[in-house]
Amino acid sequence: MTKLGKEVALSQPAVTERVKRLEEQGVIEKYTAVVNAKKMNKPVSAFLLFQARHCQDFVTYCEGVDNVLEIHRISGQYNFLVKIIAKSLETLEQTINELGQHGESTTLVVLSSPMVNRPIVPLIENS
Percent of the chain with pLDDT over 90: 59
Average pLDDT over residues 8-19: 87
Q: Report d(CA 62, CA 69) in Å as an integer.
A: 9
**Where in the chain are the domains?**
1-32, 38-109
Beta strands in the chain (DSSP E): 44-52, 68-73, 80-86, 103-109
Q: Report d(CA 43, CA 39) in Å as an integer.
A: 8
Q: How many residues does the chain have?
A: 127
pLDDT at residue 127, as a whole number? 46
**Residue 103 above 50 pLDDT?**
yes
- Strand 103-109 and strand 44-52: pairing? antiparallel
Edge-to-edge strand list for the sheet holding 103-109: 68-73, 80-86, 44-52, 103-109
Query: CA gyration radius for the chain?
Result: 19
More confident residue, 4 or 54: 54
Could you report the per-residue pLDDT of 34-85, keeping only the tens digit for each? 888 888 999 999 999 999 999 999 999 999 999 999 999 999 999 999 999 9
Instruction: Enter the pTM of the model.
Output: 0.79
Average pLDDT over residues 114-124: 79
pLDDT at residue 123, as a whole number? 67
- Name the residue type at position 102: H
CATH architecture designation of domain 38-109: 2-Layer Sandwich (3.30)
